[in-house]
């Protein structure tokens, strides 16, 4: 039986997620939803990323009634504290100083909503980054070179950020960039999307 591929929508404006999804060689469009990303009181990082990923997909459901919508969200966690996007150099310096010589766990929430039948799938993928011990000068040079202000944890693993690492551990390196493709393929297959 031939696959019944519905059009895909990536619920994101992230260029990183768009580039990752392009690897699957499936046509898709991007539409960034407008949702409140404020954490709830006492909400765990895992619950936060799953809720936000699903809310991003659900926010577009009425606009795309015959589509498969992909939502994703990511946070970095250090000692149980959530680290979001730094937004500026001072915050990035604080985040990288805190991470120096330590391990951060990145949690990436992933949701797939098939609006043809209201079938929802949601999950999260953890990935650990063990940082080198970084000097203030190394951190300053890195921030000046990459300006990672839109990245949770203040680094771009697909760029110069890899120079900050001592080691990584996880089942899907693409989750670190913001869209876990291995898990996404499972979810798309469950919707009848042929990958590859």
Task: Write the pLDDT tens digit of every residue in 142-195.
Answer: 999 999 998 888 988 888 999 999 999 999 999 999 999 999 999 999 999 999
* Gap between the Cα atoms of 122 and 79, Å rounded: 25
In a domain? residue 35? yes
- The answer to whether position 2 is within a domain reads no
The number of domains in the chain is 1
Number of helices and strands in the chain (H, E):
6, 7
Quote the domain boundaries for residue 154: 8-190
Let me know if 169 is exposed, middle or buried by CB neighbors in 10 A (0-12, 13-18, 19+). Answer: exposed
Cα separation, 8 vs 113, whole angstroms:
10
CA distances from 161 to 70, 129, 141 (A): 26, 11, 11
172 is catalytic: no
Q: Is 137 part of a structural domain of the chain?
A: yes
Q: What is the pTM of this model?
A: 0.91
What CATH number is given to the structural domain containing 120? Answer: 3.90.950.10
Please return the burial class of 23, using the count of CB atoms within 10 Å of its CB with bins 0-12, 13-18 and 19+. Answer: exposed
| 107 occurs within a structural domain | yes
Query: Within a domain: residue 154?
Result: yes
Is residue 3 situated within a structural domain? no
Catalytic residue among 63, 73, 81, 172: 73
Residue 97 lies in a domain: yes
Q: Report pLDDT digits (tens) over 39-81.
A: 999 999 999 999 999 999 999 999 999 999 999 999 999 998 9
Report pLDDT digits (tens) over 145-154: 999 998 888 9
């Amino acid at each position: 039986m031939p696959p019944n591929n519905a059009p895909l929508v990536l619920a994101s404006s992230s260029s990183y997620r768009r580039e990752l999804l392009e690897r699957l060689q499936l046509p898709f469009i991007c539409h960034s939803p407008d949702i409140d990303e404020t954490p709830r009181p006492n909400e765990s990082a895992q619950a936060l990323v799953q809720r936000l990923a699903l809310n991003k997909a659900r926010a577009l459901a009425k606009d795309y009634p015959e589509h498969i919508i992909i939502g994703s969200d990511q946070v970095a966690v250090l000692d149980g504290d959530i680290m979001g996007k730094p937004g500026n150099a001072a915050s990035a310096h604080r985040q990288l100083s805190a991470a120096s010589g330590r391990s951060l766990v990145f949690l990436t929430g992933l949701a797939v909503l098939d609006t043809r039948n209201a079938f929802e799938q949601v999950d999260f993928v953890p990935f650990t980054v063990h940082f080198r011990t970084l000097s203030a000068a190394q951190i300053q040079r890195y921030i000046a070179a990459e300006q990672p202000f839109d990245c949770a944890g203040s680094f771009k693993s697909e760029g110069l950020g890899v120079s900050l690492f001592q080691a990584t551990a996880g089942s899907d390196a693409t989750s670190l960039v913001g869209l876990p493709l291995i898990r996404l393929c499972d979810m798309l297959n469950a919707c009848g999307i042929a990958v590859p």
